[in-house]
């Protein structure tokens, strides 16, 4: 079976590598964008190819992870969304999208995998028979 593709938006290279590696171990492919703009372009080119979005909140440029997630949901309404942050967690209740997960750094790779797979399993069943 061809692995599912996760869109990662993360400007710190080292963290990006760790995320990609954790996802490979869990059986997923990844595409890494290093700015919010780049992630939004990847979504606008072809959103349905992505099974999920994993996004940092603060990134270089005027757009943030909050913007990436809203655009992802406009193009692919059921897409699972995971935010990662070291410091802007408090804004999540006002700026996050429904059904999203926020991981506060530092988090263990296994926390990411559980969040991602739980959201995918739920979204798969919500998408049946509409």
Binding site for a second copy (CB under 8 A): 1-4, 15, 18, 26-28, 70-71, 73-74, 77-78, 89-111, 113-118, 120-121, 124-130
Residues 6+ apart with CB under 8 A from 108: none
Q: Under the phi-then-psi rule, with left for phi > 0, alpha for psi from -120 to 50, and beta for the rest, what region is 99?
A: left
Min. distance of Cβ 89 from a second copy in angstroms?
Answer: 5
Task: Identify which of residues 35 and 76 has a Cβ nearer to a second copy in the complex.
Answer: 76
Task: Identify which of residues 6 and 34 has a Cβ nearer to a second copy in the complex.
Answer: 6
Min. distance of Cβ 46 from a second copy in angstroms?
Answer: 18
């Amino acid at each position: 079976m061809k692995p599912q593709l996760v869109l990662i938006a993360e400007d710190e290279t080292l963290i990006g590598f760790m995320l990609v590696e954790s996802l490979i171990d869990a059986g997923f492919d990844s595409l890494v964008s290093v700015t919010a703009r780049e992630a939004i372009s990847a979504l606008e080119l072809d959103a349905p190819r992505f099974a999920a979005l994993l996004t940092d909140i603060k990134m270089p440029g005027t757009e943030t992870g909050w913007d990436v997630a809203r655009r992802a949901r406009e193009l692919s309404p059921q897409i699972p969304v995971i935010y990662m942050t070291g410091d802007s967690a408090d804004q999540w209740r006002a700026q996050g999208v429904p059904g999203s997960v926020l991981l506060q750094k530092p988090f263990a790779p296994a926390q990411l995998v559980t969040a991602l797979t739980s959201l995918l399993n739920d979204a798969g069943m919500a998408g049946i028979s509409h």
